[in-house]
Chain A
Amino acid sequence: MRRRIVAVAFCAVAILAALAAPFASEAPDGLQRVARDEGFAAAEQPHTFDDGPVAGYEVEGVGGETSRGLSALAGVVVAFATAIAACWTLARLRARRGRGAGP
């Protein structure tokens, strides 16, 4: 893929995420709902990062909607970079093995 297309597509995803995330439903998801209905919701333990700077997609010190937008943006950037780093490494590993296994 050409770099410009990747950059444009990435920006589109990032902007969309930042704009849409503040309006996401905060109702319990399917599993939380089942946990409540079937009576095992109380088994939930606090998350290790509950006091972290971005717990629950709320950035510390920033108000609700902006906070969720920022979290979405940060998450999209980190997910993009991490996936590329991981897959780039795998592609390099194969290239190196390919050369080593040559005749």
Chain B
Amino acid sequence: MHVPDGFIGVAASAGAGVVALAGLSVAARKAEADLDDRRVPLTGLVAAFVFAAQMIAFPIAGGTSGHLIGGVLAAVLVGPWAGAICLAVVVVVQALFADGGLTALGLNLVNLSLVTTLGGYAVFAALLAVLPRRPMVVPAAAGVAAALSVLFASTAFAVEYALDGRGGADPAVVLAAMTGIHALIAAGEGVVTAGAVGAVLSVRPDLVHARVERETPRLTERPA
């Protein structure tokens, strides 16, 4: 869903750049609380994994391809703020490969790093708060949040297109088309995220972000 240069006008792109900078500054400040020497290497692994996963595009219906975004996976593993930073690193590296425009960098940072991690994590945290503490709940909540995060990012692009889109398409139609085509990709994101979180929880529950440990202590205790 990387926005190339030209789809969105310069004004809205620059505005998104300001929002991205502000959001990532806040994320950097807040991420400090989550980061210790034990967790720093995990952020590197998360960024590397997300970059790899985003390169591996799968064909989906109708001659279209889709790939994992990984925002919620990152947020659940390293926390939402450090997760936003991991995704921002990935988006910047992709721009060097000419994947995602340079004037559109702010748009891509907002859509793919801020909206997916923070928006998705908000859903994840809300689900954990209301659901019973059962072993399957954490991966399931992560999966649902991940699926919704893809639709959030699609909606974010549609909003940007409504503000300053080029090429004359109807913003309402763009919103419907974006969420429609990404519904299938969202389902894939949900399944893969739930599977990955479940796998990490079963092997190394200590690697899952502290918030999860606090809210579901019984699930993240290592088996004796």
**A residues at B contact (CB < 8 Å):** 1, 3, 6, 9-10, 13-14, 16-17, 20-21, 23-31, 33-35, 37-50, 52, 54-57, 68, 71-72, 75-84, 86-88, 90-91, 93-94
A40 to chain B, nearest CB (A): 3
Residue in B40, B41, B98 whose beta carbon sits within 8 Å of that of A55 in the complex: B98
Residue in B32, B85, B102 whose beta carbon sits within 8 Å of that of A94 in the complex: B32
When chains A and B are docked, how far (Å) is the Cα of A82 from the Cα of B51?
12
A37 touches B177 (CB 8 A): yes
10 residue pairs bridging A and B, Cβ less than 8 Å apart: A27-B59, A28-B64, A30-B181, A43-B167, A45-B4, A54-B96, A54-B98, A56-B97, A76-B51, A84-B40
B86 to chain A, nearest CB (A): 5
B97 touches A44 (CB 8 A): no
Residue B48 is within 8 A (CB to CB) of chain A in the complex: yes
Residue in B82, B95, B178, B207 whose beta carbon sits within 8 Å of that of A31 in the complex: B178
Contacts beyond the supplied A1-B42, A24-B57, A48-B5: 13 A-B pairs with Cβ under 8 Å: A21-B52, A24-B55, A25-B59, A31-B1, A38-B170, A45-B6, A75-B93, A76-B48, A77-B48, A79-B44, A87-B40, A87-B85, A91-B32
**B residues at A contact (CB < 8 Å):** 1-7, 28, 31-33, 35-52, 55-59, 62-67, 82, 85-86, 89-90, 92-99, 101-102, 154, 157, 165-170, 173-174, 177-178, 181-182, 185, 207
| Chain B residues near A1 (CB-CB < 8 A) | 38-39, 41-42, 207
B66 touches A55 (CB 8 A): no
